[in-house]
């Protein structure tokens, strides 16, 4: 029997260490190194010139026929948009998000819709966390049709794979991959997650069954488990949104079969996640016109979306002013505050600055810099910006405004909802120029 020795492996990047430490020396993450085991007596690698391996035959791409793979619609337009049109047979999708965000609810709704679209097909919900009675309570709340909705309470990955291969469901859901066990490893360990994902992925592709793996996230918001888990799957979806907010954003971090720029917008209701066909209308309708409020337009894939940026500025009670943001990267906020103080002569050195993006939306593109800057300026000066104002543009360290992509689509979306006063490059050259146009 080969001997085993203890090693320590980073949950985030998979780097191996001989001893435990609080921080991974490869990726710099804290508290991600866990104990693992490895075989000590491994077969030595041999030189390819000294063994009997025969070369394989190569194929020219000129001789490869083009095949059109039909997609399986989920029955939910927003999910199909993010996936690129629906499921590819045999595709493995990792659905991750904060606890309580609605991952299990969304997965159950997808199975319900697919069952309604194809009444002769069955769907399979595998849970290692809940019993059949607990899952049925959720399905009753969603008013799901249960005729072809099957449940499997199992944590052994090999047993789950054998069941999928025998029943051939239209779609299968694993809730969650962290509860699966394989090769004698305990549930949630690095080895178990990696081995279980490999077994289930092979089963899905062999039997052409689309598979949804629900994954948990760490305290930093990253997908729990080894980083190789994200490389094993075809699509990585994240469900974003604060638990206290009723908005949810579905985003593709990785998609082998489509774009990663599309997003799906939902609202959380008692009956599950409801699609938001026109998010701009929702955010504009609920807007309160007060000092510190500014509208901007984001572009996510083929969708232009109006969102509201709010800012609050008040004298600090501490020697070091507080900077807080929700939906905006803190480094970006610090830079915008510094540019306003230096280039626009706005006294923020002794003031706390808080920025919030309404609806739990996360600003990932620099096009929102100008709107954030104008919202902070409006709050600091206690003036209300025009109700029909929309601003977008990237802010440079010199106070200059740089153009952004899809400006025409942003302007069209703003005009469609009555925002006729547009401040954007190249009409405004600097942040001071933009402020003068308010």
Task: Give the global pTM.
Answer: 0.78
Structure tokens at 122: 């069955």
For the domain covering 281-436, report its CATH number. 3.30.230.10
Task: Name the CATH architecture for the domain at 77-277.
Answer: 3-Layer(aba) Sandwich (3.40)
pLDDT of amino acid 162: 96
Q: What per-residue confidence (pLDDT) applies to 4? A: 58
Out of 183-192, 198-207, 278-287, the most confident range is 198-207
Between 225 and 412, the more confident residue is: 412
Poorest-pLDDT segment among 30-44, 97-111, 174-188, 278-292: 30-44
Domain boundary assignment for the chain: 4-39, 77-277, 281-436
Q: Is the pLDDT of residue 231 over 80?
A: yes
Q: For 103-131, what is the mean pLDDT?
A: 92
Please enumerate in sequence order all residues whose Cβ is within 8 A of that of 406, keeping only pairs 6 or more positions apart, or say none: 299, 304
Range with lowest mean pLDDT among 4-13, 142-151, 246-255: 4-13
Q: What is residue 287's predicted lDDT score, i.e. its pLDDT?
A: 84
* 77-277 and 281-436: identical CATH topology: no
Predicted pLDDT of residue 381 = 95
Q: Which residue has the higher pLDDT, 302 or 156?
A: 156
Q: What pLDDT score does 138 carry?
A: 92
Q: Which of 220-229, 267-276, 278-287, 386-395 has the highest mean pLDDT?
A: 386-395
Q: Sign of the C-alpha dihedral, residues 325, 329, 331, 337? A: negative
Whether pLDDT at 248 is above 60:
yes
Lowest mean pLDDT among 161-165, 243-247, 337-341: 243-247
Q: Are 416 and 433 in contact (CB under 8 A)?
A: no
Q: Name the percent of the chain lying above pLDDT 90.
A: 61
Tens-digit pLDDT profile for residues 396-436: 999 999 999 999 999 999 999 999 999 999 899 999 999 99
What does the pLDDT look like over 370-398, one tens digit per residue?
999 999 999 999 999 999 999 999 999 99
Q: Which residue has the higher pLDDT, 204 or 69?
A: 204
pLDDT digits (tens, 9 = 90+) for 311-367: 999 999 888 999 999 999 999 999 999 999 999 999 999 999 999 998 878 898 999
How do residues 297-314 score in pLDDT, each as one tens digit? Answer: 999 888 899 999 999 999
Q: Is the pLDDT of residue 284 over 90?
A: no
- pLDDT at residue 48 is higher than 70: no
Pairing type for strands 211-215 and 172-175 reads: parallel
Report whether pLDDT(137) > 60. Answer: yes
For residues 278-282, average pLDDT: 86
State mean pLDDT over 2-29: 79
**pLDDT category of residue 50 using cuts at 50, 70 and 90:** low
Residue 39: what pLDDT? Answer: 55
- Model pLDDT for residues 177-195, shown as the tens digit of each residue: 989 998 777 777 778 888 9
């Amino acid at each position: 029997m080969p001997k085993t020795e203890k090693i320590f492996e980073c949950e985030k990047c998979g780097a191996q260490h001989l001893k435990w430490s609080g921080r991974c020396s490869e990726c710099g993450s804290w508290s991600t190194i866990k104990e693992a085991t490895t075989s000590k007596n491994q077969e030595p690698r041999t030189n390819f010139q000294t063994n009997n391996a025969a070369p394989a035959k190569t194929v020219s791409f000129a001789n490869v026929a083009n095949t059109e793979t039909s997609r399986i619609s989920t029955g939910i337009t927003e999910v199909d948009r993010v996936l690129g049109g629906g499921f590819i047979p045999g595709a493995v999708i990792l659905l991750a998000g904060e606890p309580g965000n609605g991952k299990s609810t969304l997965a159950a709704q997808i199975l319900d819709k697919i069952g309604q679209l194809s009444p002769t097909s069955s769907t399979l919900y595998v849970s290692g966390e809940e019993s059949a009675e607990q899952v049925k309570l959720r399905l009753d709340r969603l008013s799901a049709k249960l005729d072809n909705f099957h449940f499997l309470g199992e944590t052994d990955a090999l047993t789950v794979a054998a069941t999928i291969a025998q029943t051939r469901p239209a779609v299968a859901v694993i809730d969650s991959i962290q509860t699966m066990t394989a090769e004698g490893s305990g549930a949630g360990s690095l080895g178990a997650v990696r081995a279980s994902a490999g077994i289930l992925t092979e089963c899905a592709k062999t039997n052409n069954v689309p598979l949804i793996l629900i994954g948990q996230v760490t305290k930093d918001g990253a997908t729990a488990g080894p980083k190789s888990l994200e490389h094993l799957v075809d699509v990585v979806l994240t469900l974003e949104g604060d638990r206290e907010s009723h908005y949810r954003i579905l985003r593709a971090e990785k998609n082998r079969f489509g774009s990663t720029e599309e997003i799906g917008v939902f609202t959380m209701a008692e009956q599950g996640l409801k699609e938001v066909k026109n998010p701009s209308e929702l955010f504009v309708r609920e807007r309160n016109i007060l000092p510190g409020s500014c509208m901007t337009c984001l572009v996510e894939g083929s969708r232009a979306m109006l969102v509201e940026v709010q800012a609050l500025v008040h004298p600090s009670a501490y020697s070091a002013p507080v900077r807080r943001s929700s939906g905006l990267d803190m480094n970006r906020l610090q830079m915008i505050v510094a540019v306003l103080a230096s280039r626009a002569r706005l006294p923020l050195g002794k003031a706390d600055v808080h920025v919030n993006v309404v609806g739990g939306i996360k600003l990932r593109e620099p096009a929102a810099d100008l709107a954030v800057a104008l919202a902070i300026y409006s709050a600091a000066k206690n003036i209300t910006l025009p109700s029909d104002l929309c601003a977008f543009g990237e802010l440079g360290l010199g106070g200059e405004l740089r153009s952004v992509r899809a400006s025409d689509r942003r302007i069209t979306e703003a005009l469609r909802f009555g925002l006729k006063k547009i401040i954007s490059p190249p009409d405004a050259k600097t942040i001071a120029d933009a402020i003068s146009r308010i």
